[in-house]
Amino acid sequence: MSKAVSVLGGATYQGEVTITEAGLRGMITLRGDLSDEKLAAAVKSVVGLALPETRAIKEGKQGAVAWMSPDELLLLCEYQHADALVAKLDAALAGAHFLAINVSDARAMFTLSGAGVREVIAKGAPVDLSRRSFKLGEIRRSRIGQIAAAFWLSDEETLSVICFRSVGAHLFDWLKNAAEHGSLPRFL
């Protein structure tokens, strides 16, 4: 059996901010009726968190749950637990109309840290990343450059980005370019 590896093996770049490929991370797409109490209870049993509000992410000790669309959540967990959590969701939601699938190997995740994380992302995302508009706990699905991505702030100097694995190396290169020393305009 082959060993799972992340897209860039934990690559890191130090520029205006530090960019780190986050390694293997469990990711589960859950689609269904987000107003269903059974679905909310199933999510709470898997990651220990209530459902987030629209365009929000909740992070906790067991993982995270992110609102992705009116009928879709992304659950984040330890990589090795993703299949077991999908099975737990399948059992808890038996009889309901839903889809739970492990997408861990189809995604790449990066962590940006440092005072300029908003400005690095602002170079390529059509999103108002000012503090008054983009707040902690908010998640955005957008584009960075021309790459489909989702991103959120865990704190004022830590931003996470998820993209498709197939464009992970390209996004890493884009982020490195955007974070070059001396390249931030210091507007945000």
CB 23 within 8 A of CB 8: no
Residue 55 included in any domain = yes
Domain boundary among 63, 89, 105: 105
Q: Are 39 and 98 members of one domain?
A: yes
Q: Are 73 and 139 members of one domain?
A: no
Q: Are 169 and 115 members of one domain?
A: yes
The number of C-alpha atoms within 13 Å of 77 and in the hemisphere containing its C-beta is 24
Q: Which domain holds residue 100?
A: 26-105
Residue 184 included in any domain = no
Helices (H), the chain: 37-47, 82-92, 117-122, 168-178
How much is the pLDDT for 84?
98
How much is the pLDDT for 187?
84
Total count of domains within the chain: 2
pTM of the model: 0.94
Distances (CA, A) of 10 to 19, 47, 107, 110, 169: 10, 25, 14, 9, 11
Domain boundary among 81, 105, 129: 105
Q: Are 101 and 140 members of one domain?
A: no
Q: Are 99 and 34 members of one domain?
A: yes
Q: Are 144 and 170 members of one domain?
A: yes
- For the chain, how far is it from start to end, CA to CA, in angstroms? 48
- Compute the distance between CA of residue 80 and CA of residue 101 in angstroms, rounded to an integer: 14
How much is the pLDDT for 1?
56
Q: Encode pLDDT of 37-79 as tens digits.
A: 999 999 999 999 999 999 999 999 999 999 999 999 999 999 9
Residue 7 included in any domain = no
Residue 87 CB contacts under 8 Å (≥ 6 apart), including other chains: none
Q: Name residue, tokens 């908003």.
A: 118
For residue 101, what is the domain's CATH number?
A: 3.30.70.1520
How would you class 107 by CB atoms within 10 Å of its CB: exposed for 0-12, middle for 13-18, buried for 19 or more?
A: buried
Give the residue-averaged pLDDT of 123-150.
97
- Compute the distance between CA of residue 139 and CA of residue 144 in angstroms, rounded to an integer: 14
Q: Encode pLDDT of 4-47 as tens digits.
A: 999 999 999 999 999 999 999 999 999 999 999 999 999 999 99
